[in-house]
Amino acid sequence: MDEAFTEIEDGETTWRFERSFLTSNWTCLWGRGCKGILTEPAAELGQGCCSVGAVLDGEDEAHLISALTATLEPARFQYHEEATRGGVFGDDARTSTRVIDGACIFLNRPDFAGGAGCALHLAALDLGDSPVGLKPSVCWQLPIHIDWQDNPDGTETATLRRWRRDDWGDEGETMAWCCTEGPEAYIGDEPVINSLAEELEEIVGTRVFIELRRRTTGEGDGPTTG
């Protein structure tokens, strides 16, 4: 067994979790020094990882994003007019969100009176809801990445780890900065197993998450003897 990973069986799926990531104090630096993913550091643009359109996870997610867009108010969605005119998808197959003025159409820019950041994220907060599940999955899961592998016996292995530069494909080669590289983003007040608990539980399910937390933090362990 690879000691760098914690393995948990869940029916036909074996989950493998990168221990050093879950126990690290990585935190999102959007709006507080994030350098973005362009070819040069550009914290002042406030784009974070939204400089490209979000790749959507199939037609169901595209339908969800379309439905949510219809609920967004112009006061909270900077590109509401453009979305009404040309839609929010980057292609007819609705595989990604549209890029406008150099970033995702849902990204309100720093000087927007209705609030900077993802319009879908802001709308969820306005309603008292969690943004998890109300944005493209690739957005709310970052920097969590999952590698899926089909096994010869019909089972599958899912390796959950931090994103790497090469996960961005060709764009990763030209990025001036990747937030999971270097020390800059590892300044959080708590480990990832706690700070991203909601995201992790949504991905792996409650039973696996409880066991993962127990193995990572010792929470739920009984008293030791001897």
According to the model, what pLDDT value does residue 219 have?
Answer: 67
pTM exceeds 0.85, yes or no = yes
Looking at this protein, which amino acid is placed at residue 165?
Answer: R
According to the model, what pLDDT value does residue 224 have?
Answer: 33
Beta bridge partners of 136: none
According to the model, what pLDDT value does residue 225 have?
Answer: 32
Mean per-residue pLDDT pooled into runs of 10, the chain (226 residues): 86 97 97 94 95 93 95 97 96 96 97 96 94 93 96 97 92 92 96 97 97 86 38
According to the model, what pLDDT value does residue 218 have?
Answer: 78
According to the model, what pLDDT value does residue 56 have?
Answer: 95
According to the model, what pLDDT value does residue 220 have?
Answer: 55
The contacts of residue 128 (CB under 8 Å, 6+ apart) are none
Comparing CA positions, the residue from 185, 182, 178 lying closest to residue 38 is 178
DSSP string, 104-157: ETTEE-TT-TT-SEEHHHHHHHHTT--STTSS-HHHHHTTEEEEEEE-TTS-EE
